[in-house]
Structure 1
Amino acid sequence: MSNPGNQSPAASQEPKVSQEPKQLLHLVFGGELTDLDSVTFRDLSKLDVVGIFPDYASAAMAWKAKAQQTVDSAQTRYFIVHLHRLLQP
């Protein structure tokens, strides 16, 4: 019995390519600053790491929620770090 194109059954199977979207990880964290003119935290042991998020949109939602919770503390700031940019070779 012959195989069309003389290919073995294993050769005709193509490897599956993942269709998952590229991970664009973002870190959201914050804390109290020493002053508003710098990004120096008053106490590193009290940094609030909100989490790592799979995309900017979800990170921005988390950032906004935390920023709104601390609206009465002028010295407290939250930041979004684009981890995917730091991880690229």
Structure 2
Amino acid sequence: MTETTSKQLLHLVMGGRVKDPQSLEFADPSAIDVVGVFPSYAEALEEWRGAAQRTVDDAEMKYVIVHLHKLLEPAG
């Protein structure tokens, strides 16, 4: 029996009010909405779309997907 090792790819979906709609500088970092951590980009994207859609009329609200696996293992 061969054992396959797959790399865990974690993605964080978060958002909040930004100081400038063209930036990612959050106005109040303590008020960031953490939607969750997801095991695949597809799941994170689905949750990001939902969060972004709920705030679509507010130009100062921005949601992002953070590739945690790139932060945890930057050389990998």
TM-score, with length taken from structure 2? 0.86
Aligned equivalent of 1:6: none
The alpha carbon displacement at 1:50 in A equals: 0.4
Segments ≥4 residues shifted beyond 4 Å = none
TM-score, with length taken from structure 1? 0.74
Question: Among the aligned pairs, what percent are the same residue?
Answer: 51
**Secondary structure at 1:74 match in 2:** coil
Structure 2 unaligned runs (5+)? none
Once residues 47 and 59 of structure 2 are traced to their aligned partners in structure 1, the CA distance between those partners, rounded to angstroms, is 19
- Please tell me the residue identity of whatever aligns with 1:52: V
Q: Matches of residues 1-89 of structure 1 in structure 2 within 5 Å?
A: 17=3, 19=4, 21-88=6-73
Aligned pairs, number? 74
Q: Deviations over 1:5-48 (max 9, x none)?
A: xxxxxxxxx7x62x464311000000000112321111111100
**Secondary structure at 1:50 match in 2:** strand
User: Which protein is bigger by CA-based radius of gyration?
Assistant: 1
Compared CA separation, residues 58 and 20, structure 1 to 2 (3 A): farther
Query: RMSD of aligned C-alpha atoms?
Result: 1.7
**Secondary structure at 2:15 match in 1:** strand
Once residues 24 and 72 of structure 2 are traced to their aligned partners in structure 1, the CA distance between those partners, rounded to angstroms, is 22
Larger relative contact order (CA 8 Å, sep ≥ 6): 2
